[in-house]
Structure 1
Amino acid sequence: MASNRPAPEAPFGSYDPIGHPTVSGIPDAAAPAATVEWNPTEDTVRPVRGRHRVAKQRGGLARSSTVLGVGVIAAVGAGGMATAHDKPRVAISLPDVNLPDASSLPGVGALIGDDANDTDDTDDTADNAPAPSNLATLTLSADQAAADAQGAGTDADAGEALRARILQQVEQQQASAEAEAQAAAEKAAAEKAAQEAAAQQATAEAAAKAAEAERKRAEEEAAAKAEAERLAKLAASYALPTSSYTITSTYGQAGSMWSSGYHTGLDLAAPTGTPANAVHGGTIKSAGWSGSYGYRIVLELPDGTEIWYCHLSSMTVSAGQTVSTGETIGRVGATGNVTGPHLHMEVHTPSGDGIDPLAWMRGKGLTV
């Protein structure tokens, strides 16, 4: 890198714009340029119109193309790098003027240095390029700037898209978590409601069962009470056939003493002469001797049921006579086929079938 050596001071006098000495403002053609050293300054160097080529400068001095590129980039940057790809290519025209070789200028050649000592092949190639002789048009493309801006925009868009996707995933996960939490809460509420409903249903069923049991118990109690009342009323209208008795044989009992092979009635053993009473009000159907039954009385009740009193020692009623409940109709004896004094009692339904006298009397509320 060349050092910035101080330029020698120019001699007093006047010079034309290109550095030639003048006499009273008129160029002196006879004065050679080499005899006078000229150091250009801002006041002496003026912009020259027309086409010109700026010579390469070294020692830290920027080339005109670099300066021009920086200016274009600054212009593009001022207009917005983000929209550079939308801008058309910019054409810049530079006038070509007949400037002297930079190396011949006094004080400038030393700054530029010797190209023979230059080892930069790339810069030499650029320096050896021919300069345009007429109006040169330098076209600067903003493709690279546009590509860079587009790349930056693409990176920004990709980053924004990634951020949007991340936010979307976060929102989806949050929504999913909220939905799961809500579903779990609803499930727990439903299970709790189901448990409460089941408990209420169980309680209701238990209460219903208790009420049903209470109702049945009340019905049973009422039925028992009604039956007791009915039996009490019925017992008031029925009476035992005799008193001071002992049951010696029951209905259906098997034995060789009976011609049918089993006992057809109920034997109530009592002393001879013990009164035989009507169990219920009715009509005397028959009264007399009946073979193995001895003296027998048949009492027909209003419903057609017949009560037989057998083995009587005597009879106090006759056929066709109406009697009332508890009225004495005969006396206990031992007539007929017997082994001792007793009252043989049989009960026959209106159809003539024999039934158990003990069960029948108990059904009428009598305690036998």
Structure 2
Amino acid sequence: MASNTPAPEAPFDAFGGGAGPAAPDTEWNPTEGSLRAENRSGGRHRVVKQRSNFARSSTVLGVGVIAAVGAGGLATAQEKPPVAISLPDLPDMPDLGLPDAHDLPGVGDLLPEEHHETVAAGRANPNPLTVATYSTDDEQATGAGRAEPVADVQSGAGDAGEALRARILQQAEQQQASADAADKAAAEKAAAEKAAAEAAAKADAAEKAAAEAKAKAAAEAKAKAEAEAKAKAEAAAEAERLAKLAASYSMPLSSYSLSATYMQSGSMWSSGYHTGLDFAAPTGTPLKAVHGATVKSAGWSGSYGYRIVLELSDGTEVWYCHLSSMTVSAGQTVGTGETIGRVGATGNVTGAHLHLEVHTAGGDGIDPAQWLRSKGLSL
């Protein structure tokens, strides 16, 4: 156990603190005999319980342990029993022969009576260990120092622990809030970047679609222009071909009026419909060969009256019927526009006219008006 023997060179401080003012020129060192004499004279002798450096350090150590328990943020700090620091009591140690401070001349009257009672109680304490308390040097110097209850120390330590725990929780909440804010900002940034990327993709798609539509429209316009140009060229070629054909084909007569069309129905025809095209004209009107051909036949043909059949180079046959006269004979070759006969009213007729029929090489009848138009002729 550490010794509580005070340092001999330290001046005596009657007020329980550090070094105080020393006596100017004298030093009082009481002896056992002088103390008995004072006791016989009725004076009371008190010996001040002096705190050693060990006691002060142990006290500070006890307060530090309590503060450490609270500062650790333990939830059960207030529920545990207080930490007691055991210190040796001076009465249990060998008598050092120190006088009571109340017995010192000019000092005892300045000390409160409670201090003497506290010292006496400490001497009578049967327990060798006590609970250390803490008082500041300022309090000792002014005589205001007093023992702080253990419950107050525990309460203060618990409050400090709760305050530290609350501060730690607050810092944790702030850090969590900062992390949440950072995550939210990152999510918002990612969402904004995603939206921007999607918008850019949509814009690119729209631009691409517009470009494709424009290219398609241009292609369609070009194709249409080409088709129109082609059609125009074809029309021009057809017109040229028809012009050439018109130069090589001729209408069967110059002056006429159409009195009956192809496939026209009526009771006046034995088949129930008309098989040719009728050109009404006065009797004796000259008839012309529509194209260069060979006269296949020329003569009477029943209900057709006098009939001339011209055979073209592609096998097409052109029939001239109801003629009043004929100027060609079978096997003869004729040219375009050459006169081959005259209009009449022979056969089954109701008046003078030219009945014109056109047959293919296979013998089928076709519309004479359509055939004449295909040769560049207009009716």
Q: With structure 2 as the length reference, what TM-score do the two structures score?
A: 0.67
> Contact conserved, 2:71 with 2:164, CA < 8 A, in 1?
yes
> 2:252 is matched with which residue: 241, 245, 249?
241
One-letter code of the match for 1:348?
H
CA distance in 2, matches of 1:176, 1:334: 104
- Choose the corresponding residue for 2:100, options 99, 102, 106: 102
Instruction: Give 1:241 shift.
Output: 1.4
Query: CA 1:104–1:255 in structure 2 vs 1: closer, same or farther (change >3 Å)?
Result: closer
Quote the offset at 1:128 in angstroms: 6.3
C-alpha change, 1:296 and 1:171, in structure 2 (3 Å) is same
2:182 corresponds in structure 1 to: 171
What residue number does 1:257 align with? 268
Distance in 2 between residues matched to 1:192 and 1:30, nearest whole Å: 111
Structure 2 CA distance, aligned partners of 1:300 and 1:275?
20
Residue 245 of structure 1 and its aligned partner are, at CA, apart by: 2.1
CA RMSD of aligned residues (A): 4.7
Kindly state the Cα deviation for residue 308 of structure 1 after the two structures are TM-superposed. Answer: 0.6
User: In the TM superposition, what is the alpha-carbon distance from 1:238 to its structure 2 partner?
Assistant: 1.6
Aligned to 2:356: 345
Q: Deviations over 1:147-194 (max 9, x none)?
A: 777656534432321221121122122223323333333344344334
SS in 1 for 2:319: strand
Partner of 2:3: none
Specify the alignment match of 2:49 in structure 1: 54
Is 1:32 aligned to residue 44 of structure 2? no
Amino acid at match of 1:280: H
**Structure 2 Cα separation of the partners of residues 203 and 30 of structure 1:** 126
2:324 to 313, 322, 331: 313
Match of 1:330 in 2: 341
- The 8 Å contact of residues 281 and 353 in structure 2, kept in 1 or not, is answered as yes
- Equivalent of residue 221 in structure 2, options 186, 192, 210: 210
Residues in 2 aligned to 1:325 and 1:340: alpha-carbon distance in whole angstroms:
27
Shift of 1:346: 0.9
State the alpha-carbon separation in 2 of the partners of residues 137 and 168 from structure 1: 53
Provide the residue aligned with 1:59 in structure 2: none
Q: What amino acid is aligned across from residue 127 of structure 1 in structure 2?
A: A
Name stretches of at least 5 consecutive residues in structure 1 with no aligned partner.
21-26, 41-51, 56-61
Amino acid at match of 1:357: P
Tell me the equivalent position of 1:130. Answer: 124
Separation (CA, whole Å) in 1 of partners of 2:112 and 2:355: 171
Query: Which residue matches 1:72?
Result: 61
Maintained 8 Å contact 1:242/1:275: yes
- Per the alignment, in what secondary structure is the counterpart of residue 337 of structure 2? coil
Post-superposition Cα deviations, 1:106-151, rounded to whole Å, max 9, x if no partner, equal 4455445556998xxxx79x93673469xx5667699969877765
Letter in 1 for 2:252: P
Determine the C-alpha separation between the residues in 2 that align with 1:246 and 1:298: 22
The answer to whether the 8 A contact 1:297-1:309 is kept is: yes
How far 1:13 moved relative to its partner?
A: 7.8
Q: Does the aligned pair in 2 maintain the 1:298–1:306 contact within 8 Å?
A: yes
Kindly provide the amino acid, as one letter, of the partner of residue 328 in structure 2: V
Question: What residue number does 1:48 align with?
Answer: none
1:147–1:30 CA distance, 2 compared to 1 (3 A)? closer
How much does 1:297 deviate? 0.9
Q: How does 1:111-190 map to 2 (within 5 A)?
A: 111-114=110-113, 127=121, 130-131=124-125, 136=128, 153-190=164-201
Aligned residue pairs: how many? 324
Shift of 1:361: 0.6
Q: Contact 1:37/1:106 (CA < 8 Å) preserved in 2? A: no
Q: Secondary structure at the match of 1:361?
A: helix
Contact 1:347 1:354 in 2 (8 A): yes
The one-letter code matched in structure 2 to 1:32 is A
Whole-angstrom distance in 2 between the partners of 1:175 and 1:265 = 92
Q: CA deviation at 1:65?
A: 11
Query: Which of 351, 376, 379 is 1:365 aligned to?
Result: 376
**Contact map agreement 1:54 1:64 (CA 8 A) in 2:** no
Other structure's SS at 2:124 match: coil
- Name 1:273's counterpart in structure 2: 284
Contact 2:260 2:274 in 1 (8 A): yes
Structure 2, unmatched stretches of 5+, are: 1-14, 16-21, 75-82, 134-149
Percentage identity across aligned positions? 47
Match of residue 196 from structure 1: 207
Cα deviation for residue 347 of structure 1 reads 1.0
> How far apart, CA to CA, are the structure 2 residues paired with 1:339 and 1:14?
185
Change (3 A) 1:282 1:65: same
Measure the CA separation in 1 of the matches of 2:184 and 2:352: 108
Q: Structure 1 stretch 88-97 or stretch 165-174: which is displaced more?
A: 88-97
Query: How far apart are the structure 1 equivalents of 2:108 and 2:204?
Result: 102
